[in-house]
Amino acid sequence: MSYIPIVASTAGVAAARRMRQEEEDMTGYSKDDLDGWEFKIVRANTRKFKDYKAVQQLCDEEAKAGWEMVEKFDDTRIRFKRSVDRRSGDRHLEFDPYRTRIGMTEATIGWIVGISVAIVALAVFIAKNS
């Protein structure tokens, strides 16, 4: 039974590697593209960006730091760019202008999954012993 977490972990690592490679393939920049600009990808651990209002809220927040949406890769990733000149205003922001994750953390999701599995296991145990 100990192989299950290893397989799940390996699958997760492989999926993350595929996503990073996909992003590299989709974000080819020339020297001119990069001159005076910086880029970032904001990720959500859930399909948060499926909802238009969530995308709009993120874009509004990022705009305070000068970030402009370049493209939405999918329901979990959005790419932004901003002029490097906007860095000077970063100290006045109420959030990290270089954040790349929003929403629930992986740790929170892990706790939710773990507790859910424990509840199901307890229910199965009680049902078998009743």
14-33 per-position pLDDT tens digit: 777 776 777 666 666 777 77
Within-domain flag for 87: yes
Evaluate if residue 5 carries a pLDDT over 60.
no
The overall pTM is greater than 0.75:
no
Report the percent of the chain where pLDDT is more than 90. 48
| Alpha-carbon torsion angle 76, 81, 86, 92, nearest 10 | 0
> Is 57 a domain residue?
yes
Q: Say which residue, 42 or 106, is predicted with more confidence.
A: 42
Select the more confidently predicted residue: 62 or 111: 62
- The answer to the question of residue 26 being in a domain is no
Question: How far is it, in rounded angstroms, from Cα 35 to Cα 115?
Answer: 48
Asked whether residue 7 carries a pLDDT value surpassing 60, the answer given is: no
- Comparing 6-10, 19-23, 70-74, 96-100, the range with the smallest average pLDDT is 6-10
Choice between 47 and 114, residue whose per-residue pLDDT is larger: 47
DSSP state of 1: -
Is the residue at 116 inside a domain?
Answer: no
Owning domain of residue 78 = 36-103
Domain count of the fold of the chain: 1
Mean predicted confidence (pLDDT) in 33-50: 91
How far is residue 35's CA from residue 47's CA, in Å, rounded to a whole number?
Answer: 32
Q: Is residue 22 part of a domain?
A: no
